[in-house]
Chain A
Amino acid sequence: GNSVTQMEGPVTLSEEAFLTINCTYTATGYPSLFWYVQYPGEGLQLLLKATKADDKGSNKGFEATYRKETTSFHLEKGSVQVSDSAVYFCAQVALNRDDKIIFGKGTRLHILP
């Protein structure tokens, strides 16, 4: 079945460091891909998305590129801030199938000042 696998956390970085959170997926066909973020005490928020191969989603300095050949959607940011500390979830929705979002386990990110 469809699934999402993302790197285990927690990930701890210093401010201004480069961030990569790996995400790979398995799916029949070509799903839409998402990154959600949950800041402390808040709900899940859509961070960025890509709906077809080679699309790049971007928001708040974060980027992720839909790579069909490697079935990946890695999240990157060139210079993280303390305010980026949160839990990040990679997710997919398969086109023309049931409309459930399939999430990864989440990666907790700690940014040290």
Chain B
Amino acid sequence: EAGVTQFPSHSVIEKGQTVTLRCDPISGHDNLYWYRRVMGKEIKFLLHFVKESKQDESGMPNNRFLAERTGGTYSTLKVQPAELEDSGVYFCASSQEGSVQPGVGANVLTFGAGSRLTVL
């Protein structure tokens, strides 16, 4: 079974440019999460999709970030325009359907390797 795939693995852009990160979850996983780790800090929740719907986007830092999941398959996270403080590693994770605690039972999260974003 293929895991969660993210690309690009690393993106270097200048302040003010646009970047789009993509996540392909495990096939059949309804839940898709985006997390971000800024250098030296915690991995923080950004948002959660259930199929194509945004279940919770309370962690999105501001309106420069736009996440989509058309058709309930892959997801994109666009940053426009990028700022220096957006640099970090963006993780995607997916899990099977259900509203139980992530990480417990069948709802174990599978994470991707992350997309490292560097804004100069």
Contacts and interface: CB of A to CB of B under 8 A. Distances in A.
B111 A43 contact: yes
A107 to B, nearest CB: 12
B45 to A, nearest CB: 4
Contacts of A49: 103-104
Chain B interface mostly helix, strand, loop or mixed? loop
A49 to B, nearest CB: 6
B34 to A, nearest CB: 11
Interface stretch (B11-19, B36-44, B75-83): B36-44
Interface residues of B, number: 28
B74 interface: no
B3 A32 contact: no
A69 interface: no
B101 A32 contact: yes
A99 B101 contact: yes
A51 B104 contact: yes
B113 interface: yes
Interface of B: 3-4, 35, 37, 40-45, 48, 56, 58-59, 91, 93, 99, 101-104, 108-114
